Structure 1
Amino acid sequence: MAAGRGVTEDELYRIMYGAIAFEMLHAGWAVGVFDHLGRHPGATTAQVAEALGLQRYPCDVLVTGLRGLELVLGDDSGLSNSPLVEQCFVQGEDGRHLPFVHDIVNPGISDFIGAVRAGANVGLRHFPGDGTSLYDRLEHDPDKLKVLHDHLRATSDATLADLVRTGVLADSRHLLDIGGGTGTNAIALAKHYPDLRITLLDLDNVVAEAADNIARHGLADRVDVHACDVFADPLPTGADTALLAHMLPIWSPEADRKLLRNVCSALPDNGKVLLFDPLQNDQRDGPDYAILFPAYYLAIASGHGTFYSWSTYEEWMREAGFTRFQRFPGLAVAHGLHAGWKQ
């Protein structure tokens, strides 16, 4: 959308009926329309219905919706996927995000008004169990936990190559992967940089799985795991670079600022910190993903956290003791890399 012009009537209605638009997208992927048209471009609606074992009427409703959303192109004489659908959902693996939105985001976001009024993640009621965060609750629901992990891995797979392309890790020798989870980023970075040593930091129950993953990839000699509470415990020293990927948005500003002070204390002079996340612009009106997705953190995940702006990250880094900064904008999925050096 052009800045400042407001929305058109069509755009307004697309927002109003956005839940239906998502279900069209999800169905196009889940029942196989996109996959079939990827293999058989030019198929008619009747041929799609027959191939997928669907009745003509529901298939027509679905295909008509997909055409209206410009996810599928053409008419009844011949259909094809739009180039972006072909790239993302047929050749690529962006479909891994759709069950996360369907099974986790959408049930919980129905309580968004309540979350706004209460200032709490009241949408968590849709996920039985103990604990005050989605992450606690899903430890007892392996199916939904897999859906969440698939979404997180898909995000890392789609974005990590852009981090590498910035070249900011080219001179790093020892990296702290803070909140590194089960090792997705550490494993990929270790494979790309054969001389890089990595220490992955996370909680006890997480690093045990990370160690197994790292060993399966034959990287245990270069990638260590270290169990700690990164917000409360001193961080290990000896590394020249610290990576916080998809870590800061989960937590409150107070917790994040404390963590950055902890990181700065652990790094040597000329050490650098890398903040890798979706980032809001400094006007805080875009990009769409970075300004819409925080509703998930409020209503469901934890009741706090957001995607912060570039200027907010720089302010926090400066406050923590970093003195030189560089921005790497325009990366995949609204991501940016904000680097800070300690001097």
Structure 2
Amino acid sequence: MKQKPLKAVTAIEEAQKIAFAPFVFQTTVTLRDLGVLDYIFNHKNEENSITNLSEVLDVSVYGLEVLLEIAESANIVSKNEKNEFELTKTGYFLTYNQMINVNLNFTNDVCYKGLHHLKDSITNTKPEGLKEFGNWDTIYEGLSQLDKKVQKSWFEFDHFYSDGIFDMALSIVFRNHPKTLIDIGANTGKFTLQCLNYNKDVAITIYDLPGQLKVALQNISNAGYADRVTGEEIDWLSENPTIHHTANVFWMSQFLDCFSKEEILKILKVAGKAMTKDSELIIVETFTDRQKFKNAQFSLQATSLYFTALANGNSRMYDASVFIQLIEKAGLTVTKDHTLGDYHTLLICKLK
């Protein structure tokens, strides 16, 4: 359905919001980190004037004035009849909603500076923003070397959008009682650990870059499961990456979106060579065309620009139709198509 055109005054207002969006973003992060928003909410029945807030929080009156003025215009705070500040619903979610805070921290700590190089990244098809952190071709090579705060925000973002579906996925993964599983892109080993807890017999091989592999194997060893797990280093961007084992189940969770279409096809073909007719390849992704909520689709589209400017310069969040075409082209076929929760799709693939 075609939307009605905006009136000029409304269109100008929306354009102004975009023009000054970084100011509102940094205001939000600053008010949150200074404890202003939290204090206003938790002391809603007390005096929340500029003067009182300044005294209690040890923030200058000037600082609070400039921050709270724009926060009020952005509908993060409002004033009551006493001219004191209150948190709006938007302000509440910015302060207390886990998903919003994960997104805020990821944007602020991981993406903000790098996105300044977006035009060069588009022009050169390289993650030019990555130079803000180090001299790597992709962020994955330097992930284990990032500043601890940046690393924390990256992993919290990654885990928030993957860990929640693991419980739902486990019953599907183990419905045929697999004895062996290959976890491709194991990251910190969280899913591997859940599999080991879920099934006492399964043996798992994890494939990842050296830095991530070291972390994952250490976490698995600390949990007492080293005897059931082996690790293999792999660089999917090398000329001839190879999976040296076969397994009942091959697992790729939010892994393939880290690559271009051409690279995804190569990975799927490599996986196919390692599979037998009885093997299953299970792919979990958040597809842009399968989101119930418009804000979820918007978040995924924004995440694509992280891949462009910082991660690798050539990947993105994809439509399901793109993946299905690549799966078929790689000599595989989708046998089951599951929805997991509100955001995720789980595809079960077998050799044709």
1:158-210 deviation per Cα after TM superposition (whole angstroms, max 9, x unaligned): 43222432543241533321011231332344345555543221133432222
Moved more, 252-261 or 105-114: 105-114
Q: Confirm whether residue 168 of structure 1 aligns to residue 172 of structure 2.
A: yes
CA contact under 8 A between 1:121 and 1:302: conserved in structure 2?
yes
Q: What residue in structure 2 maps to residue 56 of structure 1?
A: 61
Cα distance in structure 2, aligned partners of 1:226 and 1:329: 30
Quote the offset at 1:295 in angstroms: 1.9
Q: What residue in structure 1 maps to residue 112 of structure 2?
A: 106
Cα distance in structure 1, aligned partners of 2:229 and 2:49: 51
1:48-78 deviation per Cα after TM superposition (whole angstroms, max 9, x unaligned): 4433211233224333434444444664445
Cα distance in structure 2, aligned partners of 1:183 and 1:165: 17
Q: What residue in structure 2 maps to residue 79 of structure 1?
A: 86
Q: What residue in structure 2 maps to residue 337 of structure 1?
A: 346
Gaps of 5+ in 2: none
Cα distance in structure 1, aligned partners of 2:86 and 2:150: 31
Q: What residue in structure 1 maps to residue 187 of structure 2?
A: 181
Q: What residue in structure 2 maps to residue 153 of structure 1?
A: 156
Quote the offset at 1:258 in angstroms: 0.9
Given residue 30 of structure 2, which amino acid in structure 1 is its aligned partner? A
Quote the offset at 1:311 in angstroms: 0.4
Q: What residue in structure 1 maps to residue 137 of structure 2?
A: 132
User: How many pairs were matched up?
Assistant: 336
Q: Secondary structure at the match of 1:323?
A: strand
Instruction: With the length of structure 2 as denominator, give the TM-score of the two structures.
Output: 0.79
CA contact under 8 A between 1:328 and 1:338: conserved in structure 2?
yes
Q: What residue in structure 1 maps to residue 35 of structure 2?
A: 32
Q: Secondary structure at the match of 1:305?
A: coil
Higher Cα Rg, which structure: 2
Given residue 62 of structure 2, which amino acid in structure 1 is its aligned partner? Y
Q: Secondary structure at the match of 1:260?
A: helix
RMSD (Å) for aligned C-alpha atoms: 3.4
Given residue 131 of structure 1, which amino acid in structure 2 is its aligned partner? W
Superposed, 1:184-333 pairs within 5 Å as: 184-192=190-198, 196-230=202-236, 232-281=240-289, 287-329=297-339, 331=341
CA contact under 8 A between 1:42 and 1:80: conserved in structure 2?
no
Q: Secondary structure at the match of 1:340?
A: strand
Q: What residue in structure 2 maps to residue 22 of structure 1?
A: 25
Report percent identity of matched pairs: 20
Q: Secondary structure at the match of 2:243?
A: coil
CA contact under 8 A between 2:117 and 2:129: conserved in structure 1?
yes
CA contact under 8 A between 1:112 and 1:299: conserved in structure 2?
yes
Per the alignment, do residues 72 and 323 of structure 1 end up closer, same or farther by CA in structure 2, a change over 3 Å counting? same
Quote the offset at 1:148 in angstroms: 3.2
Q: Secondary structure at the match of 1:308?
A: coil
Quote the offset at 1:105 in angstroms: 1.4
Instruction: With the length of structure 1 as denominator, give the TM-score of the two structures.
Output: 0.81
